Amino acid sequence: MIIENEFPPYFEWLLAAGLTPGALWIWLLTNFLLLVAGLLGSFIFLTVRHGPAKSGDLIFKALAGVTDDVVHTSPRRVYALARLAVQEALRRRVLVGFMLFILILLFAGWFLDPGRTDPAKLYLGFVINATSYLVLFLALVLSAFSLPADLQSKTIYTVVTKPVRPSEVVLGRTLGFAAVSTGLLLVMGLFSYVFVVRTLDHAHTLTADDLAPKAPTEKGLVPPNKTGTTARHRHVIKPDQIELLAQEGHAETEPEQGHYHEITAVSRDGETEYRLGPPLGQLRARVPVYGTLMFRDRGGKPAEKGINVGNEWTYHSYIEGGSPAAGIWKFTGVTRDGFPNGIVLELSIRVFRTFKGTIDQPVLGSITLRNPTKPNEPITLKNFRAAEYAIDRHEIPAQFKDANGREIDLFRDVVSDDGELEIEIRCLERSQFYGLARPSVYLLRREGTPWINFAKGYVAIWLQMLLVTAFGVMWSTFLNGPVAMLATLGSIVGGFFVSFLQNLALNKSLGGGPVESVLRISQQKNLTEQLETDVTSAVAVMLDKILRIPLFVVSRILPNFQELNDVNYVADGYNISGDLLAIHLTTGLGYFIPVMLLGFLFFKLREVAK
């Protein structure tokens, strides 16, 4: 699968990885800077109104008050308020959201095409996205409108005249709504999983006629034997499998749309019937072990990267065929205990042809294994034909014969004593290229449980929901309902476009900033056209320069919702690792705490009554 944003192990991420500072320090620094900026801003503002002494006093009181509130927060009161929020939500809006979800699932068939090449990916992506949008929307509505509604109806009067601290009101709401959304998410997740499994489930008919040898076409081509059509596809059954079926009574179909079926022959009343099992291999949770990737250039020298063949997208780096150029992955922790049955190697590489070459044959390459401590004793595993846009599985048993027929013991001869192994991929055809990226080659440690992985994918949605709720409650402490919703929506949308905002803030975006863009639209100029050299353009560019400062701040503050999304892992059938999950959870917490504190502060500083 494509992993564009690679992540380090959890503690490296948190504390430090090489030269990049750990997330924790960045978090602390950002919060510190924001705190200083906030204090300075409010001090200046208040000084204008009340003079420096009073404003210092006010700020100190506010900070002391928030600290006091946090220290004295009572779990029982928070629980009571959270429970109230749950009751309110249940009685008001949640069921509507759930009904909507069921409706969407019911009508999903309209939008989804089961005839796609990978329906499992499509369906998983769909349910996860649908759930996430719905839950986020619900969290948005619940959180943004609740406090304002309470203020409007003045029910809040009877609450805040009890010994309830503002922090408890804010936290209670947030947790209550989060609990509701969590419950909803659980139910939706369950329904989604059942929906996916049930929709993908199908069988094909298979008759003796289907298995009979076909007449060749006028060009002498023999059409393959195929099962009947279900879910808009058929499976080919290869001749050896037909033979196997005749001899042993069971066989397998060829894969189609990412799955295959088992066939069993059953005799009934002297006639043989063929039954196909459920689709297999559709929902997966591969647990990969990634290595580090180094390249060798065409001169045989080590290189950081391969060649760019002119793609705008630089994810894959290319190596030239018929030259010493290679991609070399180094894996650690390859032990006999970890891989008792040998290694399963999976490749997903790209091919770039500079000429058409042999049209009906994929480009040839080779897999070489090497012990890092014995770099001069490479063992050529085999040559292979590239399988583009597919996962190409190669098994390396503990004992195997290499390409020259030598007997090799994997762990004795190939893997180093401390469990290190190098795998080298080369392209063998001259002037053809292989495209490689670090995640293109990995060792398959084991198969995870699909539904657990599915659940892990929902954790990311859960975190998004939690943040939306926190933002919603925070904004609603001082804005009225619709405005709070817009503010929260702005936070979410901004969160989904963080990388775009960062580009804007760093002036890396084509077509300039917002003001310049407006100008371009009005002048009907495209992104790359030169602006006219007049005052208007100059002013626009200058305004954008100023706007970049708030944009920079915002892009650094908002949570990156896109990164908090693991739908690809689930849809592509890859396990979401513990590290990734921990990083997500920590990130979520990192946003939750300051947003809550802000909420406390805002609610404390506002007048509850009008």
Position among 21, 38, 52, 115 found at the interface with another protein (CB under 8 A):
115
Q: How far is the CB of 257 from another protein (least distance, A)?
A: 11
Using alpha carbons, list the distances in angstroms from residue 335 to 346, 409, 428, 448, 534.
18, 13, 30, 19, 68
154 binds another protein (CB under 8 A): yes
The stretch among 105-113, 190-198, 273-281, 475-483 that binds another protein (CB under 8 A) is 105-113
Which is nearer to another protein, 165 or 259 (by Cβ)?
165
Which is nearer to another protein, 25 or 133 (by Cβ)?
133
Position among 3, 122, 414, 425 found at the interface with another protein (CB under 8 A):
122
The stretch among 150-158, 299-307, 421-429, 475-483 that binds another protein (CB under 8 A) is 150-158
Q: Residue 326 in 3-state DSSP?
A: strand
Phi and psi dihedrals of 394, rounded to 5?
Answer: -130, 125
Using alpha carbons, list the distances in angstroms from residue 70 to 385, 467, 598.
63, 20, 12
Which is nearer to another protein, 118 or 402 (by Cβ)?
118
84 binds another protein (CB under 8 A): yes
Which is nearer to another protein, 48 or 542 (by Cβ)?
48
Which is nearer to another protein, 116 or 305 (by Cβ)?
116
Would strands 421-427 and 271-276 be described as parallel, antiparallel, or unpaired?
unpaired
Interface residues for another protein in 291-350 (CB under 8 A)? 312-313, 315, 350
Q: How far is the CB of 205 from another protein (least distance, A)?
A: 15
Q: Are the C-beta atoms of 174 and 469 separated by less than 8 Å? A: yes
The stretch among 110-118, 484-492, 501-509, 550-558 that binds another protein (CB under 8 A) is 110-118
Which is nearer to another protein, 156 or 461 (by Cβ)?
156
79 binds another protein (CB under 8 A): yes
Q: Residue 515 in 3-state DSSP?
A: helix
Which is nearer to another protein, 313 or 375 (by Cβ)?
313
87 binds another protein (CB under 8 A): yes
DSSP H/E element including 268: strand 262-268
Position among 30, 34, 116, 179 found at the interface with another protein (CB under 8 A):
116
All residues at 6 or more sequence positions from 252 whose CB lies less than 8 Å from its CB, including other chains: 241, 260, 261, 262, 263
Whole-angstrom Cα Rg for the chain: 30
d(CA 57, CA 605): 14
209 binds another protein (CB under 8 A): no
Q: How far is the CB of 363 from another protein (least distance, A)?
A: 6
Which is nearer to another protein, 25 or 111 (by Cβ)?
111
d(CA 519, CA 523): 6
Quick one: which of 566, 585, 591 has its CA closest to 470? Answer: 591
Which is nearer to another protein, 25 or 157 (by Cβ)?
157
Position among 74, 292, 373, 399 found at the interface with another protein (CB under 8 A):
74
Which is nearer to another protein, 234 or 584 (by Cβ)?
234
159 binds another protein (CB under 8 A): yes
Quick one: which of 182, 175, 187 has its CA closest to 99? Answer: 187
Q: Are the C-beta atoms of 496 and 489 separated by less than 8 Å? A: no
d(CA 181, CA 85): 11
Q: How far is the CB of 185 from another protein (least distance, A)?
A: 22
In this structure, the number of other CB atoms found within 10 A of the CB of residue 202 comes to: 17
Position among 219, 269, 302, 405 found at the interface with another protein (CB under 8 A):
219
Query: In 269-284, which positions are buried (b, 16+ CB within 10 angstroms) versus exposed (e)?
Result: eeeeebebeebeebbb
Position among 71, 198, 215, 217 found at the interface with another protein (CB under 8 A):
217
500 binds another protein (CB under 8 A): no
d(CA 405, CA 144): 69
Report angle CA 72, 75, 76 to the nearest 5 degrees: 115
Show the binding pattern over residues 386-415: x = contacts another protein (CB under 8 A), - = does not. Answer: xxxx--------------------------
7 binds another protein (CB under 8 A): no
Position among 77, 204, 286, 426 found at the interface with another protein (CB under 8 A):
77
207 binds another protein (CB under 8 A): no
6 binds another protein (CB under 8 A): no
In this structure, the number of other CB atoms found within 10 A of the CB of residue 300 comes to: 11
* Cα 304 to the center of its chain, rounded Å: 26
Position among 121, 235, 426, 520 found at the interface with another protein (CB under 8 A):
121
Total interface residues for another protein by CB under 8 A = 62
Q: Are the C-beta atoms of 188 and 101 separated by less than 8 Å? A: yes
Q: How far is the CB of 316 from another protein (least distance, A)?
A: 8
d(CA 489, CA 471): 9
Position among 113, 377, 395, 529 found at the interface with another protein (CB under 8 A):
113
DSSP string, 208-247: HHHHSPPPP-TTSPPPPEE---BTTB--EE-HHHHHHHHH
Quick one: which of 230, 206, 260 has its CA closest to 252? Answer: 260
Tokens of 285: 């949770």
Q: How far is the CB of 21 from another protein (least distance, A)?
A: 29
24 binds another protein (CB under 8 A): no
Position among 107, 201, 243, 542 found at the interface with another protein (CB under 8 A):
107
Q: Residue 311 in 3-state DSSP?
A: coil
Tokens of 401: 């014969």
The stretch among 109-117, 319-327, 466-474, 578-586 that binds another protein (CB under 8 A) is 109-117
Q: Residue 345 in 3-state DSSP?
A: strand
Quick one: which of 596, 532, 539, 500 has its CA closest to 174? Answer: 596
Interface residues for another protein in 342-381 (CB under 8 A)? 350-351, 353, 356, 359-360, 362-363
Which is nearer to another protein, 11 or 133 (by Cβ)?
133
Q: How far is the CB of 48 from another protein (least distance, A)?
A: 12
Position among 19, 91, 269, 299 found at the interface with another protein (CB under 8 A):
91
Catalog residues that contact another protein under the rule CB under 8 A.
Answer: 2, 74, 76-77, 79-81, 83-84, 87-88, 91, 107, 110-111, 113, 115-118, 121-122, 153-165, 217-219, 221, 223, 226, 229, 232, 234, 312-313, 315, 350-351, 353, 356, 359-360, 362-363, 386-389, 607-609
